[in-house]
Chain A
């Protein structure tokens, strides 16, 4: 069977990384107009959550809400109607550490809130509570390949189900001692609002295909370090094209031996 194009239009972008608090700042750095001033990632307060949830919101909850809302706002999309795909290489690392630490003691009565926050889809659950969206919500993981896996499933929803889909790819850090086993340095991520048809808000069209080429490293060493140390930022070569407003192909790391090439056409 001949494959159908994995094709979508991008209407909005959200971005947070160390020293890059939003998409406009990332865009300037990716265009070479501003230097990357590395600093801990800034995670905005989750004002959309009800007060009880807001107080207890973890870093991944703040991260994903900010990413998704930035992309949706740029597109003028109603978050209460959007299907979502959350792609993350891990869940809330601090919460996981606290549970494992307590389960190694004689007092194993972990807190109920810690337990329900331990699920890989916790951030997605809070997204639903905050936005009221009852649309399908996917939550997946492919370790370092999580961005690529999320992109593939989001494009599946856009093309097969013909619905705008918000992809939120994100990662966060573990504290010690898990940090030594999985050294993700900080919280970071990217959101892309993908739509099945071109509109006046479309920024670019992307078509994704499997490949076996190596991913292109970013020319700037500091950006390349972000790309390789935070799985969600494997998307950076694509974001650089979008920042430059350039057409062409980029290759993204997925899951050896399978890579993804993305053909980008600015609108």
Chain B
């Protein structure tokens, strides 16, 4: 049972409900903001602002709707606002944003990172090696290539294939569940 459902069935204050939802969704919200903004600092600010706006407009939230997609909508608006204010060109056009939204709807929102780990475990060795070296040992693609005795282009390709495989795995996990 998620936080929202729990709050409906018990006498938990709105603030408690909201805090629980923040706990449940903050990592995914941060991840989404980082995908849009491309860097950590702006992403954190955007997400903080988005949560605050969500809280200020809590009375307007329709409990039958999905909290995560509502929050993503706020983050998107904050991101557009940020780009306008800073005369910054977003790398995401509306079509790309809507495609990303479709993908995210197919992904598990709760326990996402646990599922990501499960998917990682399922990767074949040839794809897992570059992922571990690049993401988890903090090696550049050149260093990863060096460690795996392969070319940098091949490493980049393998990383891309690994990410595609992870995406497929994550979306199929949701459909299974």
Do chains A and B stick together as partners? no
Q: Which residues of B contact A (CB under 8 A)?
A: none
